[in-house]
Every structure is written in C-alpha cells, then in structure tokens.
C-alpha cells in the first residue's frame, strides 16, 4: 500500500523509500545564490525609475557637499590667519589632513554599512559633520579648526564610501556606467564651486559664514533623514501588529496512518511531511550581525590581494591626485601671475569642473554603450574588464592636454587658452575615471562598498602627497615642468588600465579560485 502525502507517493520497500528521501533532500538543498540578486524584502532593483532617480539625486547632492568641503574656505585663508593668528603651515596642515582623512575614512564606514546598512551610516555621518561645522564656526584658535576639520572629513567621507555602493544596490551592471557618471559629476563641481561660494560668503559676511551655511544644510538633511526613518519604523510596527492579528489557515491535517516498513532493518523512515517541498523557494535566512563583527581588514585584504584591483586603484589615485593638484596650483598661478581675485579664480576653475562633469556624464553613457556591444558580441556573457574598453578614446587626449596646460601657464598665455585646456583636461581625466570606478564595483561583486572605500583611500593618500609636493615643485621647475611630469604619470595610469583590460580577467579568476580554496 502506498501513502499519498501532497503530491508524493511513498513506494513499498525500504531501499526505494530511502532513495526517494535522498533525492528529495538533494533537490531541497539550497543552490548557490548570485549574491547581487539574492531575494530580499523590498528589493531596490525592483523600485520604480522615479524612486531610483530620487535616491541618485540625494546621493549625488550629498557628494557635492563633500567635494565643496575640501576647499570652500580657501578664499578666506588670509582672514583666518589674521583672526586666529595662524601660520601658512597651519592652514596647509588643515587642508592636507582633511583630504587624507576624507580618503581613509570610507574604510571604516564601508565596513559598518555592510553590517548596519546604509541609512544608519548616512545619519551618523551627517550628525558628525554638523558638529564639526558648528565647532569650526565658533572656533577661537587654529587648533580647534584643525581638529574639527578632521571631524568634518570623517563625516563627509561616508557618502564617498557608500555612494557608489548604494547605486550598485539599486542598478543593474548594464546601467551602472551611466549612473556612476551622473553620481560622480556632482562632486567634481565641488572644487570649482567651492572658491566661488566661499569667496562670496566671506566677502558678504566673514569666513565663519561658510561653515554656518554647511551646518544649516546638513541639519536640514539630518531632519529629513530622521523623519523618513521614523515613518518607516511606524509603518513597520503597524504592519507587524496587523500581521499578528491575521490567522493563517493551513491545509487540513489528515490522520497519518502507521507505515510499517519491512526490509533490511534500517532506521525508521523520515516523516516526509516535515521535508521541504523542492518546488517552493525557501526565503534566505536573515543573519543578525553586530558591530563586534565589523572588521574592515579581511574584506580590504581580499580587495587589495587582487592584482587587477591594485593596478586600477593606483591609476584611479593618480588621476584624482592630478585633478586636485591642478585645481590647487592653478589657483596659485592665477593669483600670482594673472592677478585674479578669489571670485575670478573660481570662475576660471569652473571650466575644469564643467569639463569634468561633461566627461563624467558622457563617459558613463559611452561606457554602458560599449559594454552592451561587447556583451552582445560575446554571446551575452559579461566580463568586468569589458568596461575598460571605453577608456581608450580619452587616453589620447589626457597627456596632451596636461602638457599643453603646463606650458600655457608657464608662458602666461591669454586666459581663454587656459580655460579651454582646463576643460579638456577635466573632460578626458574624468572620462577615464568614471569607467574605472564602475569597473571597481563590477569586479568586486559582494564587496563593492569595501572596494570603493579602498579607492577612496588611494585617492586620499595620493592627493595628500600631491598637495604636499605641489608647491615646492611648482616653485622649482615651474608649471611647465610640473605638468610635463604629471603627463608622464597620466601615461603610467593609462598603461596600468590597459594592463588590467588585457590581463585582469585571468588575474581575477585566479584570485577567486584562491579565495575559494581557503
């Protein structure tokens, strides 16, 4: 006699029954999940295009503030030195430490975000930034300014750490190039808009007005985040109360007849009513983690242990350091050689920012277009290194524009020529950078925020070094020699990217195999 339970029939015979149970257990075993497409509640990839655009706008705006914070008080340096009796070395230290900490801070924030989620990181970092702004705006000595600028750097670094990772959460790889371009266009305007905004606020009020404005902006953002978080908690609580009052009807239980299995005297057969139906997908079990589990070293070690990542991170750091160096030294050249004030310097640097923004937007879209073409050519199989194909077109123009800029400034040619070359230097450098950022996310599935944090660390370290050596080199070999040197470094960065495009796939596969064997 056979027992029918649901749709399964248990045949007579112990061996046949065991085989049936074993087959069901194997079929019910969870298969390997694509970590980027694991089933989750309220999957952000399923959000509407409008909701995704709102998130993109918020993250990009936050990153714009992070970019502004690095140099918004540059026009007021003289006033700060006079009021706080500070030296030029003190001011340089505050600038260098800010960019260094802003680059290294994402390493911690990314680890926390992987455990506690993105929202709590955004909220806490905004609070830290507000505290830093309030303290700087009321500071009575330069030591407080330096210390609180470091706190501002920690707070502003969070969006750098998890902004790109947030976009990776909500957009598919085929869309990321365009969206990364949109996202990164905002902070690129920061170094250009900073002197304009800071100069206007300093001229209209005083140097403290810049930080008070930041405090008000961040305070408003903080209130909006808290209100949204409160609404979500209330909605979740109401849903829990309603679900607890709902009686879930289960299938009618039938009397279980006794099954006496005779045969080889094996152990009693398992009750198939407690077995998982293989036709039903079981939800992924939620794993509870705490801050004690936060250790950024292991995931960072995995990221830095891959040769393809190291090459791209070094190239990315060099390109960012160049962008920071040219903004810093150009301001000095325009002030000393062209006699420009803070407002006019900001307007000239805006050409570099506009070029960077255009390169980010167009480069991102071109990156996605090239990726789709290569995927179709490869029978629908996507490889992360395909993303770097789109950088080749800009590699021709970047070193040329850098050299031309240096010698135009060296010979004090008309300011219109400076603006044109600044535009093309920004356009070509960020065209390449936006694709490398998208590649870093694509090539590090499951640890995108850690990879982006590593990228931020390399950026901060390279920019810190570039800031410290820029003025001595500019004074000794001039703008022509300095940017001839930078052109050579840009060629090195391009060669590293081409090396990853050629060998990166094999390196990545070997690294993944090595990690699985551990």
pLDDT tens-digit map of 428-441: 999 998 889 889 98
d(CA 184, CA 60): 7
pLDDT at 282: 46
| 58: pLDDT strictly greater than 60 | yes
Supply the pLDDT for residue 206.
78
Cα separation, 447 vs 301, whole angstroms: 11
User: Is residue 217 very low, low, confident or very high in pLDDT (cuts 50, 70, 90)?
Assistant: very low
d(CA 244, CA 420): 66
Mean pLDDT of 248-271: 44
Check residue 211 and give its pLDDT: 72
Q: Looking at the domain assignment, is residue 466 inside a domain?
A: yes
Report the CATH number that the domain containing residue 351 is assigned in CATH: 1.20.1250.20
Q: Is residue 39 part of a domain?
A: no
pLDDT at 405: 97
More confident residue, 463 or 297: 463
Expressed as residue numbers, the domain containing 189 is 51-231+300-512
The pLDDT of residue 147 is 92
Q: Per the domain annotation, does 220 fall within a domain? A: yes
pTM over the 0.75 mark? no
**Residue 292: CB atoms within 10 Å:** 7
Residues above pLDDT 90, as percent of the chain: 21
pLDDT at residue number 246: 45
Instruction: Name which residue leads in pLDDT, 95 or 314.
Output: 314
Q: Which of 61-70, 306-315, 322-331, 463-472 has the lowest mean pLDDT?
A: 61-70
Amino acid 233: pLDDT? 52
pLDDT confidence bin for 26, thresholds 50/70/90? very low
Helix ranges, 245-306 (H): 297-304
Please provide the average confidence, as pLDDT, over all residues in the chain.
76
- pLDDT tens digits along 183-205: 776 776 676 677 777 777 777 77
User: Residue range 374-395: average pLDDT?
Assistant: 91
Cβ atoms of 490 and 322 closer than 8 Å: yes
**Within-domain flag for 459:** yes
List pLDDT tens digits, range 359-383.
Answer: 888 888 888 889 889 999 999 888 9
Q: Mean pLDDT over residues 151-158, rounded?
A: 88
Q: For 81-86, which contacts have Cβ atoms below 8 Å and span 24 or more sequence positions?
A: 83/207, 84/139, 84/140, 84/141, 84/142, 84/145, 85/141, 85/142, 86/142, 86/145
Say whether pLDDT at 261 is over 80. Answer: no
Top mean-pLDDT range of 219-233, 245-259, 339-353? 339-353
pLDDT of residue 293: 59
What the block records as the tokens of 449 is 């925020």
Instruction: Please indicate, yes or no, if residue 504 is contained in any of the structural domains.
Output: yes
Percent of all residues in the chain with a pLDDT value above 70, rounded to a whole number: 72
| Highest mean pLDDT: which range of 25-39, 169-183, 415-429, 450-464 | 415-429
Quote the pLDDT of residue 30. Answer: 42
64 occurs within a structural domain? yes
| Domain-embedded: residue 271 | no
Mean of pLDDT values over 161-175: 76
121 pLDDT above the threshold of 90: no
pLDDT for 41 = 64
Q: Which residue has the higher pLDDT, 280 or 308?
A: 308
pLDDT at 279 over 90: no
> Is 342 inside any structural domain?
yes
Q: What is the mean pLDDT of residues 395-411?
A: 95
DSSP assignment of 412-457: T--HHHHHHHHHHHHHHHHHHHHHHHHHHHHTSTT-HHHHHHHHHH
Lowest mean pLDDT, pick from 42-51, 331-340, 358-367, 418-427: 42-51
Contact, 139 vs 148, CB < 8 A? Answer: yes
pLDDT over 70 at 269, yes or no:
no
Q: Average pLDDT, stretch 255-267?
A: 45
Q: What is the pLDDT of residue 419?
A: 95
Query: Minimum mean pLDDT among 15-29, 330-344, 374-388: which range?
Result: 15-29
Q: Which residue has the tokens 């001229």?
A: 203
Burial 319-335 (b: 16+ CB within 10 A, else e): bbbbbbbbbbbbbebbe
Count of the separate structural domains present in the chain: 1
* Residue 289, pLDDT score: 57
Mean pLDDT on 392-400: 94
């Amino acid at each position: 006699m056979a027992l029918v339970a649901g749709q399964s029939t248990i045949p007579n015979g112990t061996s046949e029954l065991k085989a049936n149970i074993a087959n069901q257990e194997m079929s019910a075993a969870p298969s390997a999940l694509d970590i980027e497409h694991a089933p989750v509640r309220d999957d952000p990839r399923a959000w509407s295009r409008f909701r995704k655009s709102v998130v993109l706008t918020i993250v990009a705006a936050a990153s714009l503030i992070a970019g502004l914070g690095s140099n918004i008080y540059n026009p007021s340096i003289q006033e700060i030195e006079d009021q706080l009796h500070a030296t030029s070395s003190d001011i340089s230290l505050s600038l260098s430490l800010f960019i260094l900490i802003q680059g290294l801070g994402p390493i911690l924030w990314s680890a926390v975000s992987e455990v506690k989620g993105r929202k709590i990181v955004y909220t806490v970092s905004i609070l830290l930034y507000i505290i830093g702004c309030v303290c700087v705006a009321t500071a009575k000595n330069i030591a407080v300014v330096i210390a609180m600028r470091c706190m501002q750097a920690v707070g502003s670094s969070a969006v750098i750490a998890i902004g790109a990772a947030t976009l990776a959460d909500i957009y598919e790889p085929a869309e990321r190039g365009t969206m990364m371009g949109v996202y990164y266009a905002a902070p690129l305007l920061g170094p250009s808009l900073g002197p304009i905004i800071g100069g206007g606020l300093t001229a209209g009020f005083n140097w403290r007005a810049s930080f008070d404005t930041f405090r008000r902006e961040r305070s408003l953002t903080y209130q909006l985040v808290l209100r949204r978080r409160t609404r979500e908690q209330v909605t979740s609580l109401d849903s829990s109360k309603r679900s607890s009052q709902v009686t879930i009807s289960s299938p009618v239980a039938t009397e279980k007849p006794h099954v006496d299995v005779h045969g080889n005297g094996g152990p009693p057969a398992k009750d198939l009513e407690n077995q998982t139906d293989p036709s039903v997908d079981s939800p992924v079990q939620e794993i509870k983690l705490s801050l004690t589990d936060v250790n950024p070293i292991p995931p960072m070690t995995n990221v830095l242990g891959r040769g393809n990542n190291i090459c791209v991170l070094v190239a990315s750091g060099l390109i960012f350091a160049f962008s920071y160096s040219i903004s810093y030294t150009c301001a000095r050249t325009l002030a000393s050689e062209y006699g420009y004030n803070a407002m006019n310097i900001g307007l000239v640097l805006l050409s570099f920012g506009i070029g960077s923004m255009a390169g980010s937007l167009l480069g991102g879209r071109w990156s996605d277009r090239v990726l789709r073409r290569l995927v179709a050519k490869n029978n629908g199989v996507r490889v992360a290194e395909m993303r770097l194909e789109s950088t080749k077109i800009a590699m021709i123009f970047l070193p040329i524009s850098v050299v031309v800029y240096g010698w135009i400034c060296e010979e004090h040619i008309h300011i219109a020529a400076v603006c044109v070359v600044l535009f093309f230097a920004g356009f070509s450098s960020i065209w390449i950078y936006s694709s490398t950022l998208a590649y870093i996310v694509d090539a590090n599935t499951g640890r995108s925020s850690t990879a982006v944090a590593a990228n931020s660390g390399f950026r901060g370290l390279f920019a810190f070094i570039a800031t410290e050596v820029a003025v001595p080199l500019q004074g000794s070999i001039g703008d022509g020699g300095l940017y001839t040197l930078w052109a050579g470094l840009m060629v090195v960065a391009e060669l590293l990217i081409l090396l990853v495009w050629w060998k990166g796939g094999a390196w990545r596969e070997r690294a993944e195999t090595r990690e699985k064997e551990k």
